[in-house]
Structure 1
Amino acid sequence: MSPQFEIQLIAVIVAVACSLPGVFLVLRKMAMMSDAITHTILLGIVIAFFATNSLTSPLLIVGAAIMGVITVFLTEMLNSTKLVSEDSAIGIVFPLLFSIAIIIISKYAGSVHLDTDSVLLGELAFAPFNRMVVMGRDIGPKALYSMGIILILNILFITIFFKELKIVTFDPALAAVLGFVPTLIHYSLMTVVSITAVGAFESVGSILVIAFMIGPPVTAYLLTDDLKHLIFISAGVGAVNGILGYQFAHFFDVSISGSMALMTGIIFALVFVFAPKKGLVTTIRRREFQKLDFAEKSLLFHIYNHEGDDNECFECGINTIQDHLNWSNDFLSKIIEDLKERNKIFIEDNTILLTDYGRQYAAESYREIITGFEESD
């Protein structure tokens, strides 16, 4: 495999591995927790390094996972006091633990390859140079295998505990009633997030981990309401972001990690604007339609209620109805023209009158509204 292909393959694996637990972080409204975890686990790595004096020890992952859980625990403990909000608690715990790690590194690990810049930004371009050799044979980049294993573990975790994750995410109280342990599932998910983050640290850095963990799930959330589809779309979006980001970096000769994070934002922005059901354009059109529909029904109801009254000419007069509805001339003219085109009203002797179809439509709409109010009560 060429180094270019290896870089893209690593990026895809990292993106998919991060997006899987990221789906549940987004659904649980814990997106910013990923930011905190991906930074504070550095303290776990540092402590584990001083305990083992090795950057290749598996205890670094254990230390990072434990620190991730500690981050969540401290945040929730502060939040449970009701003295600070969750985002404020994150803002306290995250800088505290991360700054301790930075101070320790700068003070006691200056000669060790544990650089804060690489932790934050990473450098995918160097990943192909860190090779895995088995029995004297080069079998590829280490990052490819380490993140591949983490990806498999994430897939297994979500597959095995999908039902538990789903019910705990959407209804923790029901999960407890059914015999599940929401706290256990919660901290298991946080452990998976921590392990995924530390696995991706050396290759892509914490900034891109956050982008991959939150960007694809949020993008997918705008495209579907089905949880299974959300997971698959999120993984696909993450993979596409990784590939397009690399191509962008290669073309403009810029940072690979930065380009992938940029592409994550661009893809999200495009979906945010043009998503078929939840996109900005669709939402604006839907609101405009609802506004016009409400206005048309309001006018029809007004005419329907005053039909046959002694004051009908005054209440429904083409020159006086504006005073009763408090609409602008342009808006009133637009609504009248739309209703005339659909054969719901006609004008006779400067009075707006209902057609048979318009009268039937107004009566049915009125009954639907009344029925809806009665059912809600």
Structure 2
Amino acid sequence: MNPVLEIQLVAVIVAVACALPGTFLVLRRMAMMSDAISHSILLGIVLGFFLVEQTTHPVVIGMAALSGLFTVWLVETLLNTRLVKADAAIGLVFPALFSVGVILINRYANNVHLDTDAVLLGELAFAPFNRMELFGFDLPRGLVAMGAILVLNVLLLLLFYKELKLATFDPGLAAALGFSPTLIHYGLMSVVSVTAVGAFDHVGSVLVVALMIAPPAAAYLLTDRLSVMLGLAAGIGALSAVGGYWLARWLDSSIAGSMAAMAGFCFLLALVGAPQRGVVARWLQRRRRRARFAVDMLLVHLSRHEGTPDEATENTLAHLVSELGWSPAFAERSVQAALRDGLVVRQNGHLALTAQGRERARRVQAR
């Protein structure tokens, strides 16, 4: 297989495997937990290495996963004291565990391939050189390991989709129906830990966080349906991986860094252009609400002076500018909008309500 294709396949599998559990972290407002786990598992990797003196031994993977769960438990314990908030608890726990791991590397494993640069950034370019035999095929080890984790994540998602959905959106109802939100929570954190451990060696902690959060956060802005959100998160993650690889080749820069940048760029596009929650859409919504409110104010003003002796002077464009404090341009736009909707008509130099406009003014004043 072409090494270029192998690197991209490993990156895509890592991205999709991270995006699936990351979607539930985003929905649960626990995005920072992925940062905590992806950094604190370094301590478990180092301790596991001291036990077996191998970086790929199952004991190392198990210790790293336990380190991630230990992080979650510590954060939850701090939260239960009610003395600190969630972000503070996470900010206290993961730097402490991560720094202990870094100190142990520098003190006792300085000549081993556990350097902090690889920990933070990873090196996907080396993925094609670390190979293994599987069913007679010579494949990159990262492709096999992350492929197995991706299959595990998909199977668990299919098996426990309803439970995860219920516990994510309504933990109280889940508990009332006999499910354990705590058990589901720790199960999800276990999946996050295992995924982070698998991806850690190939892409580093920075890209693990980027791929767990940026694609799901972008998908969250694009849809309200969980099933669609999961698919979009996986697709955006894969797009970030492939696009980031080619960006790295073009810039001759870090592959992991370029992929993280591409994931951030995809989120930025969603943030600006999402049809309902995007910056542009929300600006247009505010503009439309402001225009509608202005038309309502215009109709109420006209209705209050309708049939009075001063109607001819009060219900004019010039008087609207002075009494309502509108600019001439804004007043003209509001009148034109009311004219287009058939709510008012121009009559003998002043504005008059139509039957439709009179009815809408009545509804507005009845609110």
Instruction: Indicate the TM-score class for this superposition, using the shorter chain for normalisation.
Output: over 0.9
- Secondary structure of 1:111's partner? coil
Whole-angstrom CA distance in 1 between matches of 2:345 and 2:56: 82
Equivalent runs, 1:182-197 vs 2, <5 Å: 182-197=181-196
Would you say the 8 A contact 2:342–2:354 is kept in 1? Answer: yes
Q: CA deviation at 1:274?
A: 1.6
Q: CA deviation at 1:313?
A: 4.1
Q: Which residue of 2 aligns with 1:240?
A: 239
Q: CA deviation at 1:176?
A: 0.7
Whole-angstrom CA distance in 1 between matches of 2:313 and 2:73: 68
Whole-angstrom CA distance in 2 between matches of 1:321 and 1:309: 16
Q: CA deviation at 1:328?
A: 2.4
Whole-angstrom CA distance in 2 between matches of 1:147 and 1:10: 7
Q: Which residue of 1 aligns with 2:6?
A: 6
Deviations 1:284-309 (A, max 9, x none): 11111111011111211221233223
Q: Which residue of 2 aligns with 1:64?
A: 64
Whole-angstrom CA distance in 2 between matches of 1:348 and 1:32: 62
1:172 equivalent to 2:171? Answer yes
Specify every segment of 5 or more residues in structure 1 that has no aligned partner in the other structure, as ranges: 371-377
Q: Which residue of 2 aligns with 1:202?
A: 201
Q: Which residue of 2 aligns with 1:295?
A: 294
User: Structure 1 residues 13-22 or 332-341, which shifts more?
Assistant: 332-341
1:219 equivalent to 2:218? Answer yes
- Secondary structure of 1:191's partner? helix
Q: Which residue of 2 aligns with 1:89?
A: 89
Q: CA deviation at 1:80?
A: 2.3
Would you say the 8 A contact 2:317–2:331 is kept in 1? Answer: no
Q: Which residue of 2 aligns with 1:279?
A: 278
Amino acid at match of 2:144: Y
- Secondary structure of 2:307's partner? coil
User: Structure 1 residues 352-361 or 269-278, which shifts more?
Assistant: 352-361
Q: Which residue of 1 aligns with 2:53?
A: 53
Would you say the 8 A contact 2:45–2:60 is kept in 1? Answer: yes
The TM-score with structure 1 as length reference comes to 0.93
Q: Which residue of 1 aligns with 2:112?
A: 112
Amino acid at match of 2:5: F
Would you say the 8 A contact 1:41–1:64 is kept in 2? Answer: yes
- Which ranges of 4 or more aligned residues in structure 1 deviate by more than 4 Å? none
Deviations 1:144-201 (A, max 9, x none): 0000000011111111111111111111111111100000110111111111011011
Amino acid at match of 2:7: I
Q: CA deviation at 1:111?
A: 2.0
Identity percentage of aligned residues: 51
Q: CA deviation at 1:331?
A: 1.4
Q: Which residue of 1 aligns with 2:364?
A: 366
- Secondary structure of 2:308's partner? coil
User: Structure 1 residues 212-221 or 266-275, which shifts more?
Assistant: 266-275
Q: CA deviation at 1:73?
A: 1.5
Deviations 1:212-247 (A, max 9, x none): 111110111111100001001111111111111111
Q: CA deviation at 1:63?
A: 1.1
Q: CA deviation at 1:14?
A: 0.3
Would you say the 8 A contact 2:320–2:326 is kept in 1? Answer: no
Whole-angstrom CA distance in 2 between matches of 1:113 and 1:124: 15
Whole-angstrom CA distance in 2 between matches of 1:310 and 1:80: 69
- Secondary structure of 2:342's partner? coil
Deviations 1:74-102 (A, max 9, x none): 11221222221111111111111100110
Q: Which residue of 2 aligns with 1:130?
A: 130
Deviations 1:5-50 (A, max 9, x none): 0000000100000000000000000111111110001111111221
- Secondary structure of 2:356's partner? helix
Deviations 1:317-339 (A, max 9, x none): 43333344232222112211222
Amino acid at match of 1:89: A
Would you say the 8 A contact 1:223–1:278 is kept in 2? Answer: yes
Amino acid at match of 1:218: A
- Secondary structure of 2:214's partner? helix
Would you say the 8 A contact 1:314–1:321 is kept in 2? Answer: no
CA RMSD of aligned residues (A): 1.8
User: Structure 1 residues 242-251 or 333-342, which shifts more?
Assistant: 333-342
Whole-angstrom CA distance in 2 between matches of 1:79 and 1:201: 27
The TM-score with structure 2 as length reference comes to 0.95
User: Structure 1 residues 29-38 or 53-62, which shifts more?
Assistant: 53-62
Q: CA deviation at 1:310?
A: 4.3
1:163 equivalent to 2:162? Answer yes
